[in-house]
Amino acid sequence: MNFYFSEEQNRLREAVATYAKIAGADPQRDIEERDSEFSWDVLNALGEKGWTGVIVPEEYGGLGKGAVEYTIIMEETAKELIYGPQNLIQAQQGLLAVGTEEQKRKWLPELAKGKIMAAQAISEPDAGSSFQNIQTTAVKDGNEWVLNGLKVHINLGKEAQLMMVLAKTDKGLTEFLVDKDSKGIRYEKQDPIGLRSAPMYDVHFEDCRIPADTVLGREGRGIETFMAIFKLSRLGVASQLIGIARGCLEHAVSFTKSRKVGENRVSDFQGIQWIIAKLTAELEAAKLARNQAAWLHDQKVNHNLETSIAKYLAGVIADETVNKAFTLTGSHACYRNRPYDRYVREVKSLLAGGGSSEVMLNNVAREILRPSYHY
């Protein structure tokens, strides 16, 4: 594995970072954060640059790149507190992994160009990581499926033209492609503490009729479809956590270097230096783990273990960084007009995205306890 980005990947990183810094500084972002509104202008700009279709093959209107480029985009946008194309990548990965040719040609071009939004509808009031508790049902009726149930914690549910819904059929859990224009869908907006620029909804399906050909993958094999999506999308969440940790640490360290205490600066004290050094070392470790998992994905090598490790380490360092920022900056961080409040809220929300740290540890343990595993 090459631990360095290629020249092309570095150009992408610089371009995304430059755009995200400008977009993140727009006062409109504060309004969207306050009112929990989606940044459609950001999505359109990302789409015009091709970044919303980074993993989509060129034949479907995308850039035809891989997981490494995807994680670059997610990290750099998150650093400036911009909600990147995570939802779109999830949908694209599902379609590319198990979608029919007809489904790909119907949805991928518009998703790749950021013309429409997508959402994943998995969680329910009594079902998070425990898929066996999913109660949403899909019953076949002639040439249609009839969906009934409640999905919760759905980011961009109402904004999404395409929703991927996990439901129970006679053959087991199955993933469905649900068009927003389908009748029988009701949205209930929520008021989350974080990720407010990706509004959250409870989504009610009430005798919602969808065509028979909207099954994604195979009926009864919804878990396989889910894993085909989330093995990659977890790297996006890890990248968001890493990006936020970078942004938070950058702000805090800058403060310690400028703030004077007597004849010294805050950064002159060894205790402060140790905090900064420890956070930086752990952040670099998380980035390397994420890069390895992304590289393995692009090599088409199994990366269940590496992805879970990357998501876990990214969560640990992001959580520690946003907490230690208050140690580094003191009362300076305790105001709403400074970014630390939002850093904390974004991290707490992202820690649950794609599976909590405890779920990641379960995944790691499962992989290393296999008879074939060797240290």
- For the entire predicted model, the pTM comes to 0.96
Please give the pLDDT value at position 1: 66
Q: Give the Cα separation of 226 and 230 in Å (integer).
A: 6
Angle between helix axes 86-98 and 101-112 (nearest 10 degrees) is: 160
Q: Are 65 and 54 in contact (CB under 8 A)?
A: yes
Residue 3 pLDDT: 76
b/e map 36-68, b = 16+ CB within 10 Å: bebbeebbebbbebbbbbbbbbeebbbbbbbbb
Query: How far does Cα 179 stand from its chain's mean position?
Result: 21
pLDDT digits (tens, 9 = 90+) for 184-214: 999 999 999 999 999 999 999 999 999 999 9
d(CA 353, CA 246): 19
User: Tell me, what's the pLDDT at 129?
Assistant: 73
Mean pLDDT by 10 residues, the chain (375 residues): 88 98 96 96 97 98 98 98 96 97 98 97 87 94 97 97 97 97 97 97 98 96 90 95 98 96 94 98 98 96 95 98 96 92 96 90 95 89
Torsion, Cα of 244, 304, 46, 55 (10° steps) = 160
Q: Are 222 and 175 in contact (CB under 8 A)?
A: yes
